[in-house]
Amino acid sequence: MCNTVILSTQGETTIRSCINCKVFYLWHNNLLLTFKDKAFSAFYDVVEAMSFHKNCLPFPDDEDRVILHTPNDDICFAFKVDEFELFKEAMTEALYMNSVYALMRL
C-alpha cells in the first residue's frame, strides 16, 4: 500500500488517500475498498443522492437499513440511519480534505 494520508474518520469509516497515485482507500469495519480519483467522486455522487428514508428496508433484526451497492456487484453495505449519515459525512469530509491537500501541493 502507498504512503497515505487520513482524509476522514467518522464512526466505523476511515478514508485515506495516496496523493501520488490518486487512490482512495475506504475502510468500513473490516471491509476495504479502493477507488481511483474519478471513481471515488462518482461513488460519492451516488451516496450523496441516496435518501435513507426513501430507500430503507426492514431487516430480520427489526432494524431499518439502506443497502448501498459498491462498484463491485458482489459487495454491498447495509447501513442503519446513523451509520449511513456518518458514512456520508466521512465521504464529504474526505473530498474536502483531498482538495485542501491538492491546494497545499500547488
Q: How high does pLDDT run on average in the chain?
A: 94
Distance CA 41, CA 45 (A): 6
| pLDDT for the residue numbered 1 | 57
Distance CA 102, CA 87 (A): 23
Q: Is the pLDDT of residue 106 over 80?
A: no
Q: Are 87 and 11 in contact (CB under 8 A)?
A: yes
3-state secondary structure of 68: strand
Q: Is the pLDDT of residue 2 over 90?
A: no
Average pLDDT over residues 87-91: 97
Q: How distant is the alpha carbon of residue 95 from its chain centre?
A: 10
Q: Write down the H helix ranges in 1-106.
A: 37-49, 52-55, 81-105
Q: Is the pLDDT of residue 102 over 90?
A: no
Q: Between β-strands 13-18 and 5-10, what pairing exists: parallel, antiparallel or unpaired?
A: antiparallel
Distance CA 43, CA 46 (A): 5
| pLDDT for the residue numbered 104 | 86
| pLDDT tens per residue, range 19-33 | 788 899 999 999 999
Model-level pTM?
0.92
- Neighbouring CB atoms inside 10 A of 45's CB total 11
